[in-house]
Structures are given as C-alpha cells and as structure tokens.
Structure 1
Amino acid sequence: MRTEKVLKTVARQAGLAESYISAWGEDTPVSEETLARLLAAMGYDVSSDATLEASAARIQPREVLAPVQVIHQGEPIQVELMLGRSARVSDFSWRLVTEQGEVMEGWLQSQLVSDDRAQGGSLRVALPELPLGYHQLEMYRKRRQSPYQMTLIVTPTACFKQPALVQGKKLWGPSVQLYSVRTGHNWGIGDFGDLKQLVSDVAAQGGDFVGLNPIHSLFPANPEGASPYSPSSRRWLNIIYIDVCAVPEFAQCDEALQLVGSDAFQQRLNAARESNWVNYSEVACLKMAVLPMLFSTFKQRHLKAETARSCAFLAFVENGGESLMHQAAFDALHAELKATDEHVWGWPVFPEPYRQFDSAAVQQFIERHPDQVQLYMYLQWLADTQLAEAQQLAEEKGMVMGLYRDLAVGVCDSGAETWADQGALCQDVSVGAPPDILGPLGQNWGLPPFNPQQLRKMAYQPFIDLLQSNMRHCGALRIDHVLGLLRLWWIPKGESAKQGAYMYYPVDDLMAILALESHRHQCTVIGEDLGTVPDEIVDKLATAGIHSYKVFFFETAEDGGYYSPAHYAEQSMSALCTHDMPTLRGFWHCDDLKLGRELGLYPDEAQLKGLFDGRAESKQRILDSVNWHGFLPDNVGRDAMSVPMDQALSESLQLHLAAGASALLSLQLEDWLEMDKPVNIPGTVDEYPNWRRKLSANLEDLFNRPNIQALSKRLTAARAKASQKTE
C-alpha cells in the first residue's frame, strides 16, 4: 500500500514540487498519480510505501563523500564527510589532483574545521585554495581498498563579458534563421558560406554580432524533421548547413564537379534556390549526392597520404570521442535503415536490435560499415571548420561578439542523444509548460529532460559537455528557457501538459558551471527568460551576469502602457520580435490572428475578438509611447487605426529600442525587408510550413539597398549615443 505522506516526502526529496502557483495566481496541487508516475520515470518503485522508501534509499543514499561540490573562487573550500561516531579521524588521508596536474596531499587531523558527529552530523574538512577548474579529490581510509571520490569545481562568480561590454558599449546585430538566408550561389538553404557573407556585411554596417537559430544536428535521413528546437543532439551540428562548394575536396573531385556542372543538377539547384520555402528533402538529396564523393577524395588524397589536413580531421575525431561516435553511428545507421523503409523516422521504430547504441547489433554495424560511420564524422568536421571560419572572420572584421548561438532547451526523443543516453536523461518524461491564459491546455514539447539526481552523480559532466560544445566558435550563447536551470515542467510521457509538476534543479551549481565555461570560452551568456518568471531566479540571473531577454511588445506596465527602453536593465538583450512571434508587419496588421483564424487555432470567436481588440489598444499605446519619446516622424500618423506598418514606422520602432539601456539589441532581417509571413506558428505542426520560410531578398541585394544602409548608420549612431549615457 502507498500513502500520500510517503509519496510526497520522497517526491520532495527528489526535487518535485507538490503544488505550484498557476498563471491565475492560484495555489494548484499536483495529483498523486502525477507524482507517482514522475518518480517511477526516475527509477523509483512506487508500488508501496516500503518499496518507495527502499528505492529512495538506493537512489539517494547517505554518501560518505558527495560526488561533486561547486565552489566560487575565493570562498573557503570545505568538504563534508558523513562518518559514524566510531570512525577514527586519524585513519583518513586525502589526495587532491588539480586540473592543471598539481598534486596535494594531507591528513585529516590538521585539516578539520568541525566535528559534529556526536549530534548525528558530519566532519567538515578544510582544503587548500584551488584555481578555477575541475579538480579530483580522493579520500583514503585505512584498511579500505578504494578511496572515496569527489569532483571539486571552482568557478567565477559571474559569466564572462567582452571588455567592450564591461566598458558600457551598446551593441547591435541581426538575429537570423540561417536556413532562411538567400544568396545567388547557395543550394536552396542558407549555409555557413552565406553566414560568412552575412558577417562581413553586418560588420561593414557597424553591427557587432549575428544571432543564429539553434544549429544543432537534426536528422540527415529524415530532413523534413526541420525544427531547430527538436534536435537529434545538441552536441553536434546540422550538416545541411555545409557550404559544399567551399569544401577543399570539391575542387579536387572531378566526379563532383562533373555532376554539379550538369544541366540536370543545375536545374534542380536553381529550382531549390528560387523557391520561397526551403525544400529540405531536395536540399538534402542534392548535398548528399555530392558530399560522399568529397569524402572519397579526402580519403584518397589525405587520409592515405597522412597529410596535415588528415591530421586535423583525426584530431577532431579523437576530441569528439564517444559522443561523436554516437552521432556518426546514429546517422549512418538511420540512413541505411531509411533506404529500405521510408517510414523509419527515428530510433523508436528501428528494428529492435538497433534501438540502443550499446547493443551487439549496433556494434556489428559499426564494424561492418566503417566508411559510412566515418563519412558522418567527416561531415561534422566540415561543419565545425566552416562555423569556426565564420567566427574567425567576425573577429578579423572587429566585431565585439561575432556569432551568437542558441542552445535549445532539450533534444528530440527519437534522435542520437537519447539513443546513446547512459542515464542522464529521463526518457519517460517530456518537458513543457503548465496551462496559462494564452494556452489553457499548457504546452508539451516532447523533449526528455536531464535527471537532476543523475547529473549530480555524474558530477554534472553531461551539462558541462553541452556547454563546451555550444560555446565553440561564438562570442555569445543564448540559452532557450533559461528558467530551466531552476525548474522545468515535467509531464509523464503520453499525458497532457495539465498533468505535470515542476522539477527543481541545483540552480546555483548549474549557474556557477555556466560562469566557468563562459570565461573559458570568452562567451557572453543571454538567458531567454520570457513567460512566468519565479521570483527566486530573478536575482540569481542578474548576479550570475546572465543577460535578460526584453521583447518590446511584452514590456508593459500594469496600466497597459509600454515601458521606455531607457528603463530596461542594462544587463539585457532587447528585441522587437522573436522567432515565435509575427514579424513587425504581421503584428501590426494582425496577420497572425487572421492566419490563426484560418488554421482553426481560435475556435472561440469571442476570444478572437478580444485578441483583436487588445491588439488595437496595444498598437495605439505603442504609437503614443514612441511619439512621446520623440522617435515618431512627422509623416507618420498618430492614430493606430489608420497607420500602416511601413518603412518609416518600422525604422522608428527600431531606433526607439536602439536608444534604450539594454547592452545588446537584436533586430530581424525580416523587418528590414517588411516581410509579413512568420517563421514559426507555435502550436502548429502540419497546419503551417514552420521553419521553412526564406527571406524575400538575396543578401547581395539586401545590403545594397540605400534605406538599409541608412538605417544601419542610424542604428550604430543611436547605440553609440546610448553608450555615452552609461559612461
């Protein structure tokens, strides 16, 4: 028999909250069934009180030495030893190996800070000051064969900021969905070559960064799975972004040159390039017709000859380790299985023997198909190299940040990361959001979360690996749903978002590690903190040096008026729109509401009328605010009902934001082009072609337009003027 008291006690110990404050301000209880299912997903036996308590003792044992401890640099280092009263302190010695290789040793008697064992407490042991980094502590006890082990992580108190940011310089740059970029030479999708061109153009206009959508690896064998926020793995890159013609082997491969130069291939390239929507299947087909040829050339010209280029590739493979093998083996196996059955969309529908990386069948596949596996390692290397070149170019052009990458909140439950997971992820759980005013059913994102107990046992290594992968080749990292460092809305697999509960994470430890990796990679951190923000994380984000995310349309006071951007927190990034919102033109003309009506997203006409009325009121308040602050030109009307979103109004809104206090300003190329169609409509899958809409102009044309050149100059001047106010 299972009782409510024991269930809630164990849930609380595991980090699950038994209630939450809803969007309506009500204290809302979580059902016993939900708590039980979430605990079961974490490995607890919830069939009775006895089994639940026994599994809690197994999963959360009383440890002599914790597996990990995180300390801010400058704080005294003290570790706890949980020992029985009879244990003799003189039987213990310690050995500490720093990340830098220095070895320190000592005995406990002279190191004790306190001994509280008589009251059922612990020993507290003082250790020497340590440098930043990951250090290994071993505690030895006489007559015990193996030592107790702990990872000590010493971190800065706050995340890195570029010197220019510290000195008060206000930066601006465009945020772009890379796949949406058009040029006269890409293969139907924006690529890393286009990114270099964009970096060069933005730098020439005075911008200091280019923001990117998540560029995590997706599914090469299932290219229509195109959402950048549902990746196969967050540790590797989306190989569809490889600029094929820029690969050195392309010019050396006669077979590839002949194929690409053929009339039939060129016709397909032109059709893919001219389309207003990315045709992922066609783009993938075109690129994968050529890239294996380049790999064959690479093997012949470099691997066999052991050239410097082959050494660089082999070093990349060695550094990638098991994780790269997981990704490459998954992609190779998926391609093989998809070739015989087009319905194989991910590992849950692989033949049973292939559903786990560690299976004998998968290991045999790797042994039998070394070239296919190595091909995908080569493609990851090409992607990594080309991304690095874009960041290097940004630095050469004098950009303060260069690339600004985006870390998705989780991974798809059918990709490489879950396929090869070794316990870090809770695969019978999905994360999302509880019901709120705009989404009364809540949200279920279909992404399995990290298990916080496993993270701790693994000394946070999966989280560290994730940061190290995503801070490569960039000057800033945006963390999607940064509130997830504190808590995530966990939903039992197969249930609606209403049947969830908040799981709390060791936020102080995670933020400290984030600060350490931020400094090591010289990477500024931006936290997407939209939505319901718990009070307990606001100060933590600010103290940790994480830039908040200020979207103009959401920054309203209780009376409905808009806050002046001059009052935004300096440690923030401001933006007019995001990828989940309509464009400026779409917002102003209510295209999102009209499209939602067509797609059946608002079955309640009364609700829809309320949204239209609310939009009309918002537009008028926006006009009033921009006008009051002196940014509305004389040729723009003052009545929102009769004012269209044209070039003059769009530019006035951007300049209004540019004059604000935020250290960072993110703008969208779509708004420069006065586009109306959105990138993504949240809540839709098949109703709208999400993540496919391209920009309406080529980069070459966009940055040659006199109005855009003039706007760039005014933005740079506005940011420089705003910088002077903080000096």
Structure 2
Amino acid sequence: MTDLAARAAAVGLNRVWQDADGRQHVVADAVLDAILATLDTETGERTFVSADVGAPIVLPDTPDGAAELELEDGTRRVLQLTAGRLEPIAAPGYHRLSIDGRGIDIAIAPPRCISLPPGRFWGPAVQIPALRDARGTDFGDLGTLADAARAFAAAGADALAISPTHALFPADASRFSPYAPSSRLFHHALLADPTLAGVSPEAGTSPALIDWTHALPSRLALLRQAFDAAMPDVRQQIAGLRRERPALEAQARFDALHAHFFARGGARGWQDWPTPYHDPAGPSVARFAAEHDADVAFYAFLQWLAEDSLAAAQGAARDAGMRIGLIADLAVGMDAGGAQAWSRRDDVLTGLSIGAPPDPLGPQGQNWGITALSPFAMRRTGFDAFIRTVRATLCHAGGIRIDHALGLKRLWVIPDGGNAADGAYLSMPFDDLLHILAIESHRAGAVVIGEDLGTVPPGFRDTMKARNIHGMRVLPFERDDTGGFTDPAGWDRCAVAMTGTHDTATLAGWWAGRDITWAHKLKRSDGDEGAERVRRIGERKKLWIAATEAGVASGPMPNDPAPAVDAALALTATAACPLVIVPAEDLIGLEEQPNLPGTTDEHPNWRRRLPDTTAALLARPEVARRTALLAESRSA
C-alpha cells in the first residue's frame, strides 16, 4: 500500500468503491490527495462511545478498575472495567464516564427505533409551498399545511410526509430549494403562519407557478409589520429566548447580517462578507447586533413563529385523528455559506461538497453543491451537532424521513470546484449515528424512515432493518432481473411503499412520457426520442401486467393515464409494507413532477402549485375514489 493509500485508509477515505452494477472503481491519486488536503481529521481528547441497552461496552486501551458513571439525570454510581469492557448500562440516554480523570461520553440506546402503530396505514406526501387554501396566498405555508392535514385525515390518512422545513435565506428570494438549507438547526422562517402573529396575508394571484422573487419579499415585509406591531409581552418573550438560547441568537444574527450584506451587493454567503464578520464571536458581529438589535430580534421572532406554526400543524394532524401525523424530512446537508456553517464552522466538511458517484441514472455523477457534518468533528464534540439536528427536525413530528440515508454510512465527497465523478467515499460513524437515532426516536415518539435508494453498500439495508429504520420501496424501482415489476406483496415489511418521490416522474407523467419530453427538451438525453417512447410502451405493458396479475386491473392496457394511475396506486396499496406514502401529484393524477434532479432554472423546480385547495381536490370524484381505495385496502 502506498503512503497516500495508507493515509486515506487511516481516515476512512475509500480508494476502491463498487458501483450499482457491481463494477469496481479506483479513485485517482490526485483526487485522494485533494480530499485529504481539506480534511481536518483531528478528533481531540474527547471520547465518545455508544452501545445498546444491556450490552457490554468496549473501552480499548483503558486500564482496569473502578469508573464513575454519571447518568443523564445526575445519578452517580461506580462501575467496574475489566479487560477493556465495562459492565452493561440499563438506562438509555447520554451519560458521562470518568476514569482516572479522563471523561468519556457514553450514548446508551434502545436496540431499535420505535415501531409504527399496529395496523396498515397510508398517507400523502406534499411539498408545503405547493399547497393551497382559501386565503389564495402566493405559496402554501404551515397554516396551509394544518388545513391540509385536517382534510387528509378526514379522507382516512394517518400520516402526512412533508418537504423539509429547514431554515433558508429569508433575504434572498432565489434560494428556495428545501434541500440546500442555510441551517438544519432551525426552520424556514417564511413558512410561518402569519395568522398566528395576528395578520392575514394578502390574497395573491395564486398562479400555477410560484413567483418566489415576489412572494418571499412580500411575506417578509408582512411579517416585519407584524413584529413591529407586536405587543410588549411578545417582545419580552423574544428577548428572553435570545438570552436563553445562544444558538437562536446566532441564527438571528446571521439572518440579519445576511440581509444587510445581501442588500448591499448580493453577498450569497458569509464568505462574501467583510472579513471581520466571518467570526460569529468577534467584536464586529457583536457591534452589529447591538446597532441592529431590532433586526436581530425580528429574525428571532420569525423562528419563534415558525416553530409555533409547525407545532400547530402537527397538533391539527393529531387532533384530526392521524395516528402518526407529520413525517418531517431531514436534508442530507447544508449550504456552506449558510448560518450553520458560519456559527458552527468546525462542524462541517470545509472545502468539500457532497453528491453521488456516476450510476445508471446519472452517468456523470451528481454534485449537490452542499456540505455536511464532518465525522471527525462529530467524534470530538460528542455528536452534539447531529443530536441537535435530529431534535430540530423531530420537534413537532411523528416521524422523520432521512434524505440519502446512505450518508449515515458513507458520503461521496468532492473537492470544491471538482466534477462529481472526481470524488471518493468518506466513511461515517455509522453505528454511533444509528444509536443516536434510536435514542431520539424513542424520546420524540417518532418512527424513522431512511431513503435507501441509489448505490447501496452491501449489508446496509439489513443493518437498517435490524435497527427498525424503514427503507423506501418505490414502485418504479422495484423490478426483477427481466425488468418486470415485482409483486408488492413480497416487499420488505420494514419499509414504506411509495408510488414515487419528488425526484421521480409522476405516475401520469411517466405513463404519458412527460419525463422523456423533458429529457429531450433540455438535451439531457442522447438517445432517439422515438425509440425511447417505444421502450416506454413496453414498460407500461409490464406495469399493467403486474397490476392485472395482482387483481387490481383488468382489460386491455389503456392509453389514458388516469386508469393507469388507479392501477398503480392499487398495486402499491397491496404492499406488505405497513405504510404506503403517495405523492399528492399521484393522488390527483398530475403529469408534472415537483423537481427534476440535475436542473436549476431549466425546469420550474419547487415552484409548482397544486391546482386547488386540498379539500376541493379530495372532493374530486377520481381523487375521492383513490383515497377510498387506499383507506379500504390499508384497513383490510
């Protein structure tokens, strides 16, 4: 092994990797060298160990003898360490062990995340801004979500999967992708329900596509008016929260600074600010906060309002009878120029972005243009940032969907400025992260779903299943060796069944070949369009055959997408999985998808609205028929 390869292996950087087709690839030395040059691999003196409740705890290179354990509740007791093993601990939680003056953080986890309630359920998946309500606003907010939750509950849904609510950049209306957040520790301030602040948003034109450049500044101005008119007791409450929660104060300061510098030159991230403002604890930032106290207080107010709005939406879902309620979405990373990377810079992978290697669906690979938590930083800080991130996502939810859950085990990291293919896999502290998820799952009473799609490492799904983390079985991807659709009755029970995701063609769009049209319109396909449409007819036949054999379709294959949507929904509803999640676009039978991966302005990503209010859509005969089918089949 060369010195370079040895250094890479020592920090968990994989020189050899296997693609989705089983082919092995070797990372170029230049790529390994570039990644190693950016990594801060220091783990410091702090030690972190995780284990299951009742299992022995391995502490290598630790002398035998007595150790003092301080449980999370403050209880202290003495344990014995023998041959590098500590006797089991029965109490789950985050504890502290002292051995000869050395402190060790110990996370003791239940063996599995919590289970879904007994029975079989269904729920829709929605993009929050796409929702409409009677107010006719420019985009859906958390108040709209509460209305939607009530309507879906009345239609028999027990869960409602939502798009990420992570904090974005309130002053920059061009930053509206929910998967490139400023911070995952706080919420999208402009999704807050204005009515909770005593104001009603003005009715807009409610177009089919959201005009973010108008909608976000308009909402920001409205909420500023609400803050300026707030009663003294509200202002006192915000002032108290700022004192009590340093992380909230840092977020509010970032948002105020970002608005200030963005208005003066379009600075996109903190790296574009004058150097004295790069240090969140520096005198320049403190002076700015004092001189612009009202602005900082306003952004803290927005976070307070957003959290109350999210709590109200989950309350509406549960009060309406949903057994699970909201399933929150945890994005895989954050913008390197955002609040989290500014206020907690040592937590992230500086100089690297994350993505995916080349695969059949993306021959050039994917560079998502975001960064992620550093495995070395997590170890040296007792996984503080990860714990805070999970808690922020689960604060008002009955479940969590982890975007790109493969990143719990390894991340495809790319040096800044490099191509997506010029990356390598960096190992993550998988076992520790799974233990933390189990602890937080039980504390929040929330189920855990992991997006296990793409280039899946060997054994990954088995490990997730053992921890009761549900995978995703998405109808278009569940095929046998001949390309035929597999019988959903045989799908993994420790998974959720889905007809699609926000990144895939809708059922109606796939049947009509809308995805093929987009691929050629945007010159994203080198193939012959006519030949691709002929192949799609063959694919449609396979789906119709699967639905017919399952007894949910009959007769000749239709050309009209509507009967095909019915059949695909009914087929997915037969899955062995306890929960079926159906994108709202599939319930309604829409052809356009919310997001087209690999595009920015070429396709109206994250801008599409649903065609009517949730209640009105659910009252449509074809939609009512589909929700009745789902409710009946899942209760059987």
Q: State TM-score, norm by structure 1.
A: 0.84
* 2:263 is equivalent to residue 339 of structure 1: yes
Report the equivalent of 1:20: 17
Query: Does the CA-based 8 Å contact 1:186-1:243 persist in structure 2?
Result: no
Runs of 5+ unmatched residues, structure 1: 45-58, 84-88, 115-123, 141-146, 251-256, 261-265, 305-309, 722-727
**Structure 1 position 403, deviation (Å):** 0.4
SS at match of 1:535: coil
How far apart in 1 are the matches of 2:88 and 2:128?
A: 48
CA distance in 2, matches of 1:616, 1:707: 24
Instruction: Out of 219-228 and 625-634, give the one that drifted further.
Output: 625-634
1:247 and 2:196 correspond: yes
Contact kept in structure 2, 1:213 and 1:406, CA below 8 Å: yes
Alpha-carbon separation, structure 2, partners of 1:187 and 1:60: 49
Q: Report the equivalent of 1:67.
A: 47
Output the CA distance in 2 between the equivalents of 1:154 and 1:610. 56
- CA deviation map 1:43-64 (0-9, x unaligned): 37xxxxxxxxxxxxxx368x7x
Preserved contact between residue 549 and residue 572 of structure 1 (Cα < 8 Å) = yes
Deviation at 1:281, TM superposition (A): 2.1
1:191 equivalenced with 2:171 (yes/no)? no
Partner Cα distance (1:128, 1:698) in 2: 54
Secondary structure of the equivalent of 2:414? Answer: strand
- Match of residue 290 from structure 2: 367
Q: Which residue of 1 aligns with 2:82?
A: 113
Q: State whether structure 2 residue 295 is matched by structure 1 residue 295.
A: no
Do 2:587 and 2:627's aligned partners in 1 also have CA atoms closer than 8 Å? Answer: no
Please name the residue that 1:686 is paired with. Answer: 601
Cα distance in 2 for residues equivalent to 1:78 and 1:31: 36
Matched, 1:171 2:121: yes
User: 1:693 Cα shift?
Assistant: 0.8
Q: State the shift of 1:609 in Å.
A: 5.3
Query: Does residue 652 in structure 1 map to residue 533 in structure 2?
Result: no
Distance in 2 between the 1:384 and 1:70 partners? 31
For 1:27 and 1:77, the matched residues in 2 are separated by 36
Rounded Cα–Cα distance in structure 2 between residues aligned with 1:137 and 1:567:
46
Q: Larger C-alpha radius of gyration, 1 or 2?
A: 1
Per the alignment, residue 499 of structure 1 pairs with 422
Between 1:349-358 and 1:616-625, the stretch displaced more is: 349-358
Structure 1 partner of 2:8:
11
Task: Tell whether the 8 Å contact from 1:576 to 1:584 is kept in structure 2 after alignment.
Answer: yes
* Counterpart contact for 1:673–1:696, Cα < 8 Å: no
1:131 aligned residue: 91
Gaps of 5+ in 2: none
How many residue pairs get aligned? The number is 636
Q: 1:40 corresponds to which residue? A: 37
Q: Compute the RMSD of aligned alpha carbons.
A: 2.0
Match of 1:676 in 2: 591
1:371 and 1:183 mapped to 2: Cα distance? 32
Q: 1:661 aligns with which of 548, 572, 576?
A: 576
**Offset at 1:698?**
2.1
CA contact (8 A) 2:126 2:583 kept: yes
Corresponding residue number in structure 2 for 1:328: 252
Q: Which has the higher contact order (CA 8 A, sep 6+)?
A: 2
Q: Distance in 1 between matches of 2:166 and 2:370?
A: 14
SS in 2 for 1:497: coil
Distance of 1:191 and 1:530 partners within structure 2: 29
Q: Is 1:100 aligned to residue 73 of structure 2?
A: yes
In the alignment, is residue 385 of structure 1 matched against residue 300 of structure 2?
no
Give the distance between the partners of 1:464 and 1:34, measured in 2 at CA. Answer: 31
Q: Secondary structure at the match of 2:220?
A: helix
Residue among 426, 430, 433 paired with 2:356: 433
Q: Which amino acid aligns with 1:270?
A: G
Specify the alignment match of 1:480 in structure 2: 403
Aligned residues of 1:681 and 1:688 also touching (Cα < 8 A): yes
The Cα shift of 1:379 comes to: 0.6
Instruction: Between 558-567 and 418-427, report the one with greater CA deviation.
Output: 418-427
Superposed, 1:553-592 pairs within 5 Å as: 553-592=476-515
Show CA shifts across 1:126-152 (max 9, x none). 356341101111223xxxxxx211101
**CA distance change for structure 1 residues 150 and 579 in 2, over 3 Å: closer, same or farther?**
same
**C-alpha separation in 2, matches of 1:112 and 1:382:** 49
Superposition map of 1:223-262 within 5 A: 223-244=173-194, 246-250=195-199
Worse-matched range after superposition: 353-362 or 451-460: 353-362
Partner of 2:204: 270
Q: Deviations over 1:623-669 (max 9, x none)?
A: 111111111144xx33xxx62202x3312221121122111111122
What secondary structure sits across from 1:80 in the alignment?
coil
Change (3 A) 1:332 1:677: same
1:280 equivalent to 2:173? Answer no
Query: Residue 360 of structure 1: CA displacement?
Result: 2.7
Q: Which amino acid aligns with 1:71?
A: A
CA distance in 1 between counterparts of 2:606 and 2:480 reads 32
Per the alignment, residue 551 of structure 2 pairs with: 630
Counterpart amino acid of residue 618 in structure 1? E
Q: Distance in 2 between matches of 1:563 and 1:160?
A: 28
Aligned position for 1:80: 60
Relative to 1, partners in 2 of residues 1:301 and 1:149: Cα closer, same or farther, differing over 3 Å?
A: closer
For residue 233 of structure 1, report the CA deviation from its aligned partner.
0.6
The one-character-per-residue Cα deviations of 1:55-110 (angstroms, maximum 9, x if unpaired) are xxxx368x7xx601101001123533446xxxxx7xx763321101102247xxxx
User: CA shift at 1:179, angstroms?
Assistant: 0.4
Post-superposition CA distance 1:537-579 (Å, at most 9, x none): 1210110101110110110000111101111111111111111
Q: What secondary structure sits across from 2:400 in the alignment?
A: strand
- Runs of 4+ aligned residues of structure 1 deviating over 4 Å after TM superposition are 313-319
For 2:513, give the aligned amino acid: C
Paired residue secondary structure (1:365): helix
2:204 aligned counterpart, secondary structure: helix
Whole-Å separation in 2 of the counterparts to 1:556 and 1:610 = 21
TM-score normalized by the length of structure 2: 0.96
The code of the aligned residue for 2:55 comes to E
Contact 1:186 1:194 in 2 (8 A): no
The range that moved more, 698-707 or 452-461, is 698-707
Q: Distance in 2 between matches of 1:557 and 1:314?
A: 59
Shift of 1:289: 1.8
State which of 383, 396, 404 in structure 1 corresponds to 2:319.
396
Q: What's the CA shift for 1:224?
A: 1.6
- Structure 2 residue 119 is the aligned partner of structure 1 residue 154: no
Residues 315, 513 of structure 1: CA spacing in aligned structure 2 closer, same or farther, 3 A cutoff? farther
SS in 2 for 1:455: helix
Percent of residue pairs identical: 32
Match of 2:536 in 1: 615
Tell me the amino acid that sits aligned with residue 605 of structure 1. G
